[in-house]
Amino acid sequence: MTATVTTHTGHASLLHRVQQLYNRRETIRYLVVSNLKAGHRNKVLGNLWNLLDPAMSLGVYFLVFGVWLGQGRSGVGTYLVYLFIGILAWRFLDGATSQAVNCIRGNRGIIGEISFPKSVFPLSIGLSRLYDFLWGLVVLLIVLMATRMPLSWHALWMVPLIVLQLMLVVGLAYFVAYLGAFFADTANITTVVLRLGFYGSPILYYVRGESTRIPEWVLPYYMLNPMACLLESYRAGLTEQRMPDPWQLAYVFGCALGVLLVGYGLFSRGEGKFAKYV
């Protein structure tokens, strides 16, 4: 009986926190706008940089991995699109996670003075980086047209996939923000983990086919990385004109939902201690 009451109380508490977060939607909007202004992304030149930055990254990685290491041998246009999808999606995750690490310590001045749900900080960071990601899709569209890559209605799978990635990114942002509030070395550790994740995800090299760098026996374990499944799903709809693998979609959804719930639950439980530690 006690366990049941505790469980119901826990559910009610979580729903109450979510309701509080929803009630602060104007605060979230303000923080998103502030994040964009901080990077001058609310101005023409800032938005122009949002277009140029991923394009320049694409050029550098293509020269190194497409030309020098031969990943583009199966088709220059195909590899350009393959590479750019990976760069855009990873920049979304990497940028939000890196920024969220210090979002509590960076706002220590108001953490202890104003009563409001601190969960608005990681969420606003995730939404700000989503803005950058959407601008990157403009460059992707230009690359698709330049390489004459045909599009089909399967490209509409991008919409639910972006939602899934947002869930995953915000969940990770909550997780690292919680750790960053209590442990000063979290930022350094996060940088190393993200760097490993970049090279451990199918961004610069093919997962399958003649040019793959992944041994067949390693592939089942390699695809346990949810970003690997997410990137393959993006590419299925955009470059292969087919529906993403249902099992990969289900796996990404499960991981994204799990990370979001665990990250948010952990963060919200620690909110009351932030002022003491930061």
Tell me the residue type at 24. R
Q: Whole domain around residue 122: which residue ranges?
A: 25-277
Tell me the residue type at 61. Y
pLDDT in tens, 244-271: 999 999 999 999 999 999 999 899 888 7
Q: Which residues of 182-216 are buried (b: 16+ CB within 10 A; e: fewer)?
A: eeeebeeebeeebeebbeebbbbbbbeeebeebee
Share of the chain above pLDDT 70, in %: 76
pLDDT in tens, 161-205: 999 999 999 999 999 999 998 888 899 999 999 999 998 999 888
Domain contains 8: no
Domain contains 10: no
Q: How confident is the model at residue 28 (pLDDT cuts 50, 70, 90)?
A: confident
Q: Is the pLDDT of residue 40 over 70?
A: no
pLDDT at position 257 is: 97
Domain contains 99: yes
Q: How many domains does the chain have?
A: 1
Mean pLDDT along residues 95-110? 84
pLDDT in tens, 130-147: 988 988 888 888 888 888
Domain contains 117: yes
Nearest C-alpha neighbor of 195 from the set 49, 93, 273: 93
Q: Is the pLDDT of residue 237 over 80?
A: yes
Domain contains 12: no
Backbone angles phi, psi at 92, to 5 degrees: -60, -50
Domain contains 101: yes
Domain contains 81: yes
Q: What is the pTM of this model?
A: 0.84
Residue 178 near residue 99, CB atoms below 8 Å: no
Domain contains 98: yes
